[in-house]
Amino acid sequence: MPSPKVWFITGSSSGFGRNMTELVLEKGDIAVATLRKPEVIADLAAKYSSDQLLVIKLDVSKPQEVTAAFAEAVQKYGRIDVVFNNAGYGILAEVEGTPDEQARAMFDVNFFGAANVSREAVRIFRDVNKPQGGRLLQMSSVAVYASSAAMGYYCASKRAFEGLSEGLAAELDPDWNIKITIIESGGFSTSGLRSIFRVDPHPAYTKPTLTPAIVRKYLASDTFPPGTPSAAGAVDVIYKIAALENPPLNFPLGKDAVGTAKKKTGELLANAEQFASWSEDLPVAA
């Protein structure tokens, strides 16, 4: 019987992070659940022994806490097999109406925090695990294919994270047996809407027919509309991806994400073909 995998999960308090923590434990694997407020998952801590669940307080925007959390997990279990890099949140605000301090705080989590986790994950997979290897699952968004009005800074943080992840994947030595998959998630029913930081509408964008107003109306509730697929089903798919010997680098998750990815790539190809001649016979620098 194979040994249980050790999963290091960020953002375990709610949404995909909570769902993944529960699934990992149900599968008999080991979960290192990290979050800013450990008391939020006290029910899981009471249900599972420390041999299967380690709860660690972690703010991913603080590099020293990231390093310490990984070190504590390694000290407890000896290795880490899978990192689910999931912590993040959104800002509902027009680009013109987004306060700089709020945008930077979000980037500190969604981009720089996720980068902190990525770097330490790779180091552990390469320098600590015996044998070398590991799976780094980067929780991204369909926003990398189509940015949404009133969510511009959030979408930018996810595109930046996508670029970093692809660059990191290109740098890895295949001998290290480290595989990265970017999960480009569509809409799933989670508690994530409650974590969105909401800024009052910019006065120039309040016309009801404008897209920002429509987006705000759609996100006015703390719950997703009926018919939205469940996060429980989504994490089951992500769990299976982690077990693949050769997982994809980019993985659109959900019918809406798959459709958006196809539409975007089709538009890019058509645009490149239409204007390809404009790049021909460009003058060469002296």
**Active-site residues: which are they?**
140, 154, 158
Quote the CA–CA distance of 38 and 45 in Å, as a whole number.
9
Which two three-digit tokens encode residue 140?
A: 């991204």
Give the C-alpha separation, 182 to 247, whole Å. 10
Label the pairing between strands 53-57 and 30-35.
parallel
HSE-CB for 228 with a 13 A CA cutoff = 13
Residue spans of beta strands (DSSP E) within the chain:
6-9, 30-35, 53-57, 82-85, 91-92, 134-141, 178-185, 197-198, 250-253
Helix or strand (DSSP H, E) at 65: helix 63-77
Angle at which helices 152-171 and 114-123 cross, to 10°: 20
Distances (CA, A) of 118 to 8, 35, 91, 186: 11, 16, 23, 22
How distant, in Å, are the alpha carbons of 108, 223, 251 from that of 14? 19, 13, 22
Q: Count CB atoms within 10 A of the CB of residue 46.
A: 8
Instruction: DSSP letter for 282, please.
Output: P
Render the burial of 184-214: b for 16+ CB within 10 Å, e for the rest. Answer: bbbbbbbebbeebbebebeeebeeeebebbe
